[in-house]
Amino acid sequence: MFYVYLYDVKPGKEQEIREWLKNKGTPYWKKIPEIKSVNTYIRHFGLGPRPQYQTWFEIEDLVSLGKFLEGSRDEEREKVYWEFWDLVTNWTAMIVRKVA
């Protein structure tokens, strides 16, 4: 299953978010035990409203998702999340699971 962040980037922060995802966000998220993989995608073509970015966290099951969401709020995690929120807007999340 996947837990997915959907979001836009604040104006003027496009280059900054790409560097942040590559050098900080993704490496940090990959260290979290409940996350099997993490990848970020940008929409190149599509109809309808945004968001432009999607970060997909692969997670084993709902128990792991709960642990991820309730995970320790140490200083590093707080810093990573506040840096993320400073760069993005129109954030939402969804859970996606395979059905066939």
| Domain limits, the chain | 2-96
Element (H, E) at 75: helix 75-87
Q: Which residues of 10-31 are buried (b: 16+ CB within 10 A; e: fewer)?
A: eeeeeeebeebbeeebeebbee
Rounded distance between C-alpha atoms, residue 15 and residue 65, angstroms: 30
pLDDT in tens, 13-58: 999 999 999 999 999 999 999 999 999 999 877 766 666 899 999 9
> If one looks up domain 2-96 in CATH, what number appears?
3.30.70.100
CA distances (Å), 82 to each of 76, 78, 99, in order? 10, 6, 34
- pLDDT of amino acid 72: 67
Higher pLDDT, 47 or 69: 69
Rounded distance between C-alpha atoms, residue 24 and residue 94, angstroms: 23
